[in-house]
Structure 1
Amino acid sequence: MIQTIDLRGTRPTPAELLAAVPRALTDVTAASDVAAELIDDVRARGEDALLDQAERLDRVRPSHLRVPASHVAEALAGLDPAVRTAIEETIRRVRIASAAQVPPQVTTTIADGATITQRWQPINRVGLYVPGGKAVYPSSVVMNVVPAQIAGVSSIALASPPQSDCDGRVHPTILAVAGLLGIDEIYAMGGAGAVGAFAYGVPGLGLDPVQLVTGPGNVYVAAAKRLVRGVTGIDSEAGPTDILVIADASADPRLVAADLVSQAEHDELAAAMLVTDSVELADAVALHLADLMQSTTHSTRVTASLNGRQSGIVLVDDLTAAAAFSNAFGPEHLEIQTSDPDAVLTLIENAGAIFLGPHSPVSLGDYVAGSNHVLPTGGQARFSSGLGAYTFLRPQQVVTYSREALREVADHIAALSTAEALPAHGDAVTARFAPGL
């Protein structure tokens, strides 16, 4: 049975709220030693290490680490027409939403002859990771690739684990979606080893190092991303998914329960939370969850998730308290199912993606909403954001001053450089106004 956390009649401080937030017992640090060994092995032995890791961890030794174009063509030819139509519509919608995330170049005039131009420069080469464990995620191919393409990334490599039931190939649906998006550099490699290969390169495969690694994965992928950060950039240390629903008495308990189960089916460690000021709603949702745990396809997985320490129903005095708990939780997915969701939205600070009203379930965002489903998990929404075109862009300031504009501030620069005991800074300016220059 899902646990109940009763915070009614209390006014917890921010620190107390953080302490009250239930979390799964997942420790990225604990996986770091294993991840480091796998990465070091790839750095030392390249292709042989990746093949050995696939055989040991994925239970299959792929015949090709770099996926041949023929495999992609076969997968695309065999793609179910209904799935292809759904993927193409998802691509279209994510492209529209991602395009809105690219800021325009802006030039600001500071003074006569003095301008600062803010430009957004795309990263040149990225490595996109698509997991392949308990489920197959062709939608994650779209969510990783499309914003990178919209941002202007010119070199995209994609990795996904080889599948033992696909003769050691990457899952054909993943290959087909990559083909639809024009990605031709694809690797059958997974886990921490794949992250290491992206970060350091594998010359024998023609795999050059990337500047950024993005995409979700298990705790070993998260640990590997933490380890290579600094050698290459990462989007986040994505872990098990989570959903938090803020709901009041106006919400339909059947829909709330269905939405909680939809995320619980991802993983035994997935977190599913309901925060409500209505005891009646809480009781009704708990009853529906008990039924759904037994009837849903992935019953064992869902039951483990909902009965885990990371999931629960939280009772609060009012929706202001509900928003405060949500902000402390920092959900990956936040649903607001209240009589006035816009009013609650004004109280929300921390969330990866927000879904308003009864007809905006998280499942919509997982697929065809147009939003991106690669989002910060485990409370990381408190300080980071989801994947978007902006992930692949770097803001750069371009400074242009004329001689007269520089002369106008020369004395200020000299004064500040003297105050900081860095006189050569000032000298570099005054030298430009020496006689004869």
Structure 2
Amino acid sequence: KYIIAVLIILFASFADIFLYRIDIIPVPPAEFLIPLFLVLAILKYPPVKVLDIFQTHSSKFFIAVLLFAIVYSAFSMASQEVLLEEIVLSLFTILLYLFLVQFFRTESNKLTFMVVFLSFIILAGSVWYDFFIGLPKYDVKLVDLVRKGGFGENPNQAASSMKFLALGILVFLHRLKTKRLLIIVLMVVTVFLTMSRSGIVSVILILIFGAVNNWDTKFKVNPSKLFTSFFKLAFLFAGLYVGLVFFAGVIKENFPAFTRGAAGERLDLLIGESDQNFTSEDVQFGGRGALLIKYWNDFKDKPMGHGTGYSSDKKFNSLSTHNYYLYLAVNFGVLALILYLLYIVYGFKLSFKHDQFYYLIFIILIVFEGLVTSRIYFNRSMLIAVAFFDSLLYANIFLSNKKSV
């Protein structure tokens, strides 16, 4: 179980990819570490023991996506390589999810906490090291990037993963005020270092909902205490903003690249010193705005879907959708989009039904993440977060099923 735990930490922090990049691990993770994880998981957790995990709404959705990928590959114009990649990724998503849920629901809280905590610390530490010192120069494109993502490589990907991991840590530390505050500060500052606007928005959502509910795991929103909660929240945001403005000044003084160009625009926008609500990157060819219009038109042209891998095949599109809703709609059509919306709504319903406030925050983050990321569940760090929060959500259901048997 400890080897499995180490592998999960490597996956969640993207350290496995980094170790492959610098040739410490000679083969890609998909060819060695992921198969190793599955083999060890099967040996540790017999498949018959994970069958009840198919009851979860997430596993049903992942299976549906796999079926869509298989069926829509029949008339897709994408290359065989892209089709195979999409189907294999969907299959591996299901397998990884099943055994990740099994790990989180059967192992001790102490081990589970250490896995989530170390994953966050390693990824956050890599971002700090990459920003101030610099990771080994294994990729010219990454070296030239002003924004840094640490082991996550892509700053937005690193920020997304850190916020989900930090939310998982807060589940364990919700009663420990000092430790909780330290994690919150580390999360805010590290996500700020990536200059990810979507990451900052997600962090703000975590702070707002967490503070309103006094960081409890159960629903404890009390109208009579809302004023006090908002006062504390205003004080927290004021302190964080002053700290970030000071930190931004230090960055500009020591890193001249952040005083000009797109990086400078992004930094000014994040601290409220920009005269505009967008950067030059957003409106140029390949920016998110242009991609949104492009793929929305593709969806209107064929509302039943262009086929598996359409948005991923470079011969059709140079860039992906950067939007999970459009990813489903463009590739698999309106039925897949409706299915995902039902999955989201059901997640909200379950959070209230089982009195899981952190699951509500998690679903809200997933809703927002879908607007800025096209491969949510193919990102192993986010898939690990899904498995972790589902294991908490379904804990009582799994327990009652065992007692009935």
TM range (shorter): under 0.3
TM-score when scaled to structure 1?
0.26
* Structure holding more strand per residue: 1
TM-score of the superposed pair, with normalisation by structure 2: 0.27
- Higher-Rg structure is 1
